[in-house]
A and B are shown apart, each in its own frame.
Chain A
Amino acid sequence: MEHYNMNLTLKVWRQKNKEDKGGFQTFQVKDISSEMSFLEMLDILNEQLINEGKDAIAFDHDCREGICGTCSLYINGKPHGEWKGNTTCQLHMRAFKDGETITIEPWRANAFPVIKDLVVDRSSFDRIIQAGGYVSVNTGNAMDGNCLPIDKNRADDSFAAAMCIGCGACVAACKNSSAMLFVSAKVSHLALLPQGEPEKRSRVMNMIAQMDKEGFGACTNTGACEATCPKEISLSNISRLNKEYLFASLTADK
């Protein structure tokens, strides 16, 4: 596609801190290249704000190559913007037209409170992982691949689930603010492999207990999460989690 420049109106959520009520502020940006990334466009706006002696807009980012899960942003009604299977940092300005108005909001969920502007506190995800998203045996050095036979399909499903980067877009898109797609990706990723198998029952129980404690909602299988997930994590992982949970509760010791 031809390269082009554009002028845009940005409606950005500004909020000083957790307690502040916050509200939208409107900004104009000029001569934005279609080849820029969305975050580079925000960098330009921030440079502009700093030069004017104003407070820069706070937003999360780290790798800027779609692998770390740090970037967020709810852009024009969709987490990570309208491109499918894509993160905000990999959203490019050619997704927009000259003269467009773009509305940028933070993830909205009580379990993800806003820290400042567009930055939300996602440490609830970390605590869910701490509750069981790991293998606790000391595995030493990596084994020779051929010593550990794993069904190819299981390995593939596990790998697909392991793609989850913990960005929280699934929560942001869900009408129930449920974290089930994220938790199910972690549960599936480990339960499908022999290393994760021994702890699979306690893992699913503990992670769900923590998810509930953090104030995420219950899943009602609408499918909104799957459609927005940058790593296209499958909804069938949620069903797998349900199966693991049912199995774990039926075979619990007490």
Chain B
Amino acid sequence: MTWKEVFTSSVGKKLVMSFTGIFLILFLVVHVGLNACIWANDGGTMFNAGAHFMGNNVVPRILEIGLFVGLLLHIIQGIMLELSNRSKRNVKYAIDYGNQGSKWYSRSMGLLGTLILIFLVIHLADFWIPNRAHQGFLLGEEINLYEKMKLEFSELWVVIVYTLGCLSLGYHLAHGFQSAFRTIGVHNKRYNLMLTSLGYGFSVVVTFAFIMMPWSFFLHIIQ
């Protein structure tokens, strides 16, 4: 069995989804943790220091390349899997099987993933691209990211788009977290129960924290 055969098999493709998924979950921990610095409510000093470190230290910059590779793999493999899985039943049922034994979001990972992707494009164009462009190369002078957030999130529609984007992420995680561990072979019932609970907890906490960020600015909870 060559590696090519492994990674082109249905289980191998799922392994790619799972490994990249877990990597992306770890990234979310860093992202939410760093962003939480806005709640220090010190006019952005702590948050901007964190943002500066992430943009100028070599370790996070290298990890960032890994992050984009992982993200691309997750997206491309995800789209291919979804299309392939959809092609396996040409004649549909007259009566849908529905929610028996499965949650709607577990059956909608492709749709949720697409919504997250759309949100991600908006999000990167809002912050990451202008920020990196100003850090070091190209345009000199570093952006005050905290002020930028304040400005962006003074518009209600932006806040709503971010809320919807984060909700899609939350539901994607609610299934993705536990599914990733099942795919790498966690079959012990007790571990699975723990991971499922942890997954739900993680999805709720991370989603809530992310959603609260734009709202905190919009509602002037932080200055």
* Interface residues in chain A, defined as those with a beta carbon under 8 Å from any beta carbon in chain B: 11, 24, 74, 76-78, 103, 105, 108-111, 173, 175-178, 205, 208-209, 211-212, 215-228, 235-249, 252, 254
Residues of B within 8 A of A254 (CB): 1-2
Choose one: A78, A209, A224, A235; the contact of B5 (CB below 8 Å): A209
Which secondary structure dominates chain B's binding surface? Answer: loop
Is the Cβ of A218 less than 8 Å from the Cβ of B84?
Answer: yes
Choose one: A218, A226, A247, A249; the contact of B81 (CB below 8 Å): A218
Choose one: A11, A227, A238; the contact of B100 (CB below 8 Å): A227
- Minimum C-beta distance from A142 to chain B (A): 29
A74 to B91, CA, bound (A): 13
A208 to B2, CA, bound (A): 14
Choose one: A76, A226, A238; the contact of B95 (CB below 8 Å): A76
Is the Cβ of B192 less than 8 Å from the Cβ of A77?
Answer: no
Within 8 A of A (CB), among B154-188: 175, 178-179, 182-188
Is the Cβ of A78 less than 8 Å from the Cβ of B184?
Answer: no
Is the Cβ of B92 less than 8 Å from the Cβ of A108?
Answer: yes
Residues of B within 8 A of A111 (CB): 88
- Minimum C-beta distance from B94 to chain A (A): 6
Is the Cβ of A242 less than 8 Å from the Cβ of B10?
Answer: no
- Minimum C-beta distance from A247 to chain B (A): 8
In the complex where A105-B95, A111-B88 touch, is A249 in contact with B12 (Cβ < 8 A)?
yes
Is the Cβ of B106 less than 8 Å from the Cβ of A109?
Answer: no
- Minimum C-beta distance from B12 to chain A (A): 7
Is the Cβ of A227 less than 8 Å from the Cβ of B101?
Answer: yes
Is the Cβ of B93 less than 8 Å from the Cβ of A218?
Answer: no
Range, interface on chain B:
35 or more
* Interface residues in chain B, defined as those with a beta carbon under 8 Å from any beta carbon in chain A: 1-3, 5-6, 9-15, 81, 84-85, 87-98, 100-103, 106-107, 109, 175, 178-179, 182-189, 192
A174 to B96, CA, bound (A): 11
Choose one: B1, B94, B182; the contact of A105 (CB below 8 Å): B94
In the complex where A24-B94, A78-B100, A209-B5 touch, is A218 in contact with B13 (Cβ < 8 A)?
yes
Residues of B within 8 A of A241 (CB): 11
Residues of B within 8 A of A109 (CB): 88-89
Is the Cβ of B10 less than 8 Å from the Cβ of A173?
Answer: no
A246 to B179, CA, bound (A): 15
Residues of B within 8 A of A110 (CB): 87-90
Is the Cβ of B1 less than 8 Å from the Cβ of A227?
Answer: no
Residues of A within 8 A of B87 (CB): 110
Is the Cβ of B88 less than 8 Å from the Cβ of A239?
Answer: no
Residues of B within 8 A of A222 (CB): 101-103, 106-107, 175
A53 to B103, CA, bound (A): 46
Most buried by B among A108, A111, A211, A220: A220
A-B contact pairs, 23 of them (CB 8 A): A77-B96, A78-B97, A105-B93, A105-B95, A108-B91, A110-B89, A208-B9, A208-B10, A212-B9, A218-B81, A218-B84, A220-B14, A221-B179, A222-B106, A237-B187, A239-B187, A239-B192, A241-B11, A242-B11, A242-B183, A246-B184, A254-B1, A254-B2
Choose one: A208, A209, A217; the contact of B85 (CB below 8 Å): A217
Q: Which 10 A-B pairs have the closest CB atoms?
A: A227-B101, A243-B185, A239-B187, A77-B95, A218-B10, A222-B102, A176-B85, A177-B88, A217-B88, A240-B187
A76 to B97, CA, bound (A): 9
Is the Cβ of A236 less than 8 Å from the Cβ of B192?
Answer: yes
Is the Cβ of A224 less than 8 Å from the Cβ of B12?
Answer: no
Is the Cβ of A175 less than 8 Å from the Cβ of B107?
Answer: yes
A173 to B96, CA, bound (A): 9
In the complex where A105-B93, A177-B89, A224-B101 touch, is A219 in contact with B9 (Cβ < 8 A)?
no
Is the Cβ of B95 less than 8 Å from the Cβ of A219?
Answer: no
Closest to B178 in A: A221
- Minimum C-beta distance from B113 to chain A (A): 11
A226 to B102, CA, bound (A): 9
In the complex where A77-B97, A238-B182 touch, is A217 in contact with B102 (Cβ < 8 A)?
no
Residues of B within 8 A of A242 (CB): 11, 14-15, 182-185, 187
